Amino acid sequence: MERKTLTTAAGPYIAVFDSGVGGLTVLAELRKQYPNNSFLYLGDTARVPYGTKSPVMVTRYALEAAWFLSRYPLECFVIACNTVSAVALPALRAAHPDIPILEVVTPGALSAVEATQNKQILVLGTEGTIASGAYQKAIHALDPEIEVYGVACPLFVPLAEEGIVSGPIVKMTVQMYLEPFLKKEIDTIVLGCTHYPLLRNAIQEAVGENVKVVDSVAPLTKRLRSHLIHTIEGRPRLRIFVTDHSDRFMRIGRRFLDGNLDEPTQIDLEEMFYENQRLINEPPSLSV
Amino acid sequence: MERKTLTTAAGPYIAVFDSGVGGLTVLAELRKQYPNNSFLYLGDTARVPYGTKSPVMVTRYALEAAWFLSRYPLECFVIACNTVSAVALPALRAAHPDIPILEVVTPGALSAVEATQNKQILVLGTEGTIASGAYQKAIHALDPEIEVYGVACPLFVPLAEEGIVSGPIVKMTVQMYLEPFLKKEIDTIVLGCTHYPLLRNAIQEAVGENVKVVDSVAPLTKRLRSHLIHTIEGRPRLRIFVTDHSDRFMRIGRRFLDGNLDEPTQIDLEEMFYENQRLINEPPSLSV
C-alpha cells in the first residue's frame, strides 16, 4: 500500500490505536512514562465495540486505522486493544512492515507467566479475544506447561464505560463469570481487555488476595522504550482522533484520562480509505 | 439519489432495518401477523450498537442501509430501531420520498398514550433515543398535557443480548435505573428499544402490577396493514442481510426469532454506498 507521510514538527509520534475509549487508559500510562514524547490516539468510536465482531471485520477496521495513522511520521504503533491484538496482528504487520507494531497480548501473557507460581492462569477478555486463543498461544510460547483457562466477560465493557465499577451489580457480574473457576487452583488472572483494569478491585475481591490480578501495561511500557529512538524538538504533542465525536467519548474519556482530554478531531476512516484504495487502483489520468 | 430496482419474484418486500440483532423481535411479530408477505431484514452488525453513537453517525448509517434496501421492490420500509427512528427519520424520508417509511417511536408513543390514566409516562431507551427527546415530542403531539419522563438504560442491551433476562443482576440493574422514578405517580412505562421487551418481566416486577409496561409492536403491526397493497404470488420469502456475519448473530438471532434463522447474507454497505455515490458524481465515460 502506498505510504504518504505527513510532515509535522512534533513527531515522530507514538500512535495508539483502540476500538474506542478504552485505550485511553493505556495512553494515560504511556504518557506518564514518556512525558517527552508526542502521541497520536485513534479511537474507532463509530464502530466500537470490536469484542463482539468477527475477526474479518476487526482486521479490516484495524487496517483502515493503521493506514490513517501511518501517514504521520511514527516512532511506533501501539495496539491498545486486546481484540485487535488477538486477531489482526499478522495482517497489520504484513501491511506495515516498516513500522514497529506493539500489541497488548504478549505483554499481558508475560505479566501472567511472571506472576504464576502454580502454572494455572485464567484469562478474562472479550468474546473475540477469548475465541481467538491468542493469550493461550502467547502464554504457551513462554511456558508450554502452563494451564490456561479463558472466559469471555461481555458485560465488563458496558459496566466500565458506564462508570459502574463497584457495588452489588459489579460484584454479582464478576461472580457470575468467575464462579466456574473459583474451585480451580488458579493463582493468576490476566485482565485481557483495556477496560478491565477499571474493575480490578471488584475482580480482586471476588478471587481473594492469594490470586494475582495482572495486566499488560507494565511490560508494554517497558517494551516501548527500545523503540523510542528520536528526541522530540519542541513541545511534545497529543492529538486525538475519533471516527464519531460524541459527548459520550468526552465524558468517559475524561474519566479514563484523569480529567484531561482535549477536543478530538473527527475523521472519516471509511471514506478516506476507500478513496485512497481507488486512487491506487485507478490513478487519475493527467490532463495535458 | 438514483434508484435502481432489482427485480425479484417474491417481492414487493417489507424491509425491516435495525442496528443489529434486536429488530428480529419486531420481524418475528410482523411475520406472525403477515405470514403471506415477503420480508427483507438488514442488521448493521458491523457497526452495532447505534444507541451510544452520535445522531450524525446514526443518520449516515441509516441512509446507507435504506439505500441498499431501496434497490429491492419494497412495499414499505420499517425502521425497527428506536434510535434510528428517533434521530434519522427526517433524513430517511427526504432521501426516499417514494417509499412509505414506518418507524417505532410514534407507535410506542401511541401505546403509552392509550394506556396512561394519570398522564404520567416514563420512557426507557438508549442514550441516543432519550437525548433526542423524540418520545416526548411524539407523546405531546398526541396529548400535550402528559408529563413525560425519560431514562437511558445502557446496560439493558448487553444484558438482553447475553440472554441475562432474569435473576439478581437484572433485578438490581432495573432497580438502579428505575429507582429515581418509583416515587413518582407514573402509571405507564414505554419500552423504547427493541431489546427491552426481553426484560419485560423484570421491569414489570420492579414497578408492580399497577404500572402498565407497553411497547410499539401492536400499533406498528396494525399500521403496517394499510401499506400492504400487493399480493405476493408464490411462496413468501425472508432474506436476512448483515454487515458482519458472526456466530454471535446466529446465536442471539435464533433466540430472538424463536429458533428459526436462516443463514444471512453478508453485505458491505460502506463500499457499495461509496461506489454508488462516486458513480453518480463521476459517471464512467463510455468507450465508443
- Residue spans of the domains in chain B: they are 13-103+219-281, 105-215
- For residue A248, name the pLDDT band (cuts at 50, 70, 90): confident
Q: By the 8 A CB rule, do B209 and B189 touch?
A: no
With cell 461506489, the residue in question is B275
Cα Rg of chain B, angstroms: 19
Q: Which CATH class is domain A105-215?
A: alpha beta
Q: Which of A110, A108, A107, A105 is nearest to A92 (CA)?
A: A105
- More confidently predicted of B270 and B210: B210
With cell 424520508, the residue in question is B93
Mean pLDDT of chain B: 91
Q: Which of B69, B60, B92, B61 is nearest to B5 (CA)?
A: B69
pTM: 0.90
| pLDDT tens per residue, range A143-165 | 999 999 999 999 999 999 899 99
**Neighboring chain B residues of A164 at a CB cutoff of 8 Å:** 155
- More confidently predicted of A9 and B112: B112
Instruction: Say which DSSP state B184 is in.
Output: S
Rounded Cα distance, B275 and B287, in Å:
20
Chain A (216-235) residues lying within 8 Å, Cβ to Cβ, of chain B: none
- Under 8 Å CB-to-CB from B256, ≥6 apart: which residues? B21, B22, B24, B25, B28, B198
Instruction: Say which DSSP state B147 is in.
Output: E
Residue A276, classified by CB atoms within 10 Å of its CB into exposed (0-12), middle (13-18) or buried (19+), is: middle
CA distances from A252 to A80, A143, A158, A180, A195 (A): 17, 38, 11, 31, 11
Lowest mean pLDDT among A168-177, B105-114, B237-246: B237-246
pLDDT at residue number B1: 44
Same-fold call for B13-103+219-281 versus B105-215 = yes
The residues pairing with A201 across neighbouring beta strands, listed in sequence order, are: none
- For residue B51, name the pLDDT band (cuts at 50, 70, 90): very high
B120-125 sheet: strands from edge to edge: B147-152, B120-125, B188-192, B212-214
Mean of pLDDT values over B69-82: 95
Which chain A residue has the Cα nearest residue B19?
A47
Q: Do B127 and A244 touch (CB under 8 A)?
A: no
Distance of CA A212 to the CA centre of its chain: 21
Extended beta strands in B59-169, E state: 74-79, 101-102, 120-125, 147-152
Residue B61, classified by CB atoms within 10 Å of its CB into exposed (0-12), middle (13-18) or buried (19+), is: buried
Mean of pLDDT values over A161-181: 96
Quote the percentage of chain B above a pLDDT of 70: 93
pLDDT at residue number B57: 94
- For residue B288, name the pLDDT band (cuts at 50, 70, 90): very low
Quote the percentage of chain B above a pLDDT of 90: 78
Mean of pLDDT values over A123-130: 96
Lowest mean pLDDT among A25-34, A64-73, A89-98, B263-272: B263-272
**Would an 8 Å CB–CB cutoff place B276 in contact with chain A?**
no
pLDDT at residue number A271: 77
The arrangement of secondary structure in B13-103+219-281, i.e. its CATH architecture, is 3-Layer(aba) Sandwich (3.40)
**Would an 8 Å CB–CB cutoff place B165 in contact with chain A?**
no
- Evaluate if residue B276 carries a pLDDT over 90: no
Quote the percentage of chain A above a pLDDT of 90: 78
**Would an 8 Å CB–CB cutoff place A267 in contact with chain B?**
no
pLDDT at residue number A256: 80
**Neighboring chain A residues of B168 at a CB cutoff of 8 Å:** 172
Q: Do B158 and A162 touch (CB under 8 A)?
A: no
Q: Do B169 and A164 touch (CB under 8 A)?
A: no
Instruction: Say which DSSP state A280 is in.
Output: H
- Evaluate if residue B133 carries a pLDDT over 70: yes
A-B Cβ pairs (cutoff 8 Å, strict)? 64
In order, the DSSP letters of B196-260 are GGGGHHHHHHHH-TTSEEE-SHHHHHHHHHTT--PPPPS---EEEEESS--HHHHHHHHHHTTT-
Catalytic residue among A193, A214, A232, A242: A193
- Evaluate if residue A5 carries a pLDDT over 70: no
- Evaluate if residue A2 carries a pLDDT over 70: no
| pLDDT tens per residue, range A65-77 | 999 999 999 999 9
- Under 8 Å CB-to-CB from A120, ≥6 apart: which residues? A146, A147, A149, A184, A185, A186, A187, A188
Crossing angle for the helix pair A247-256 and A24-33, to the nearest 10 degrees: 40
pLDDT at residue number A261: 84
Amino acid, single-letter form, for residue B32: K
- Nearest CA-CA distance, residue A49 and chain B, Å: 8
pLDDT at residue number A288: 41
- Nearest CA-CA distance, residue B51 and chain A, Å: 11
Rounded to 5 degrees, what are φ and ψ at A5? -90, 130
Most confident of A145-149, A278-282, B34-38: A145-149
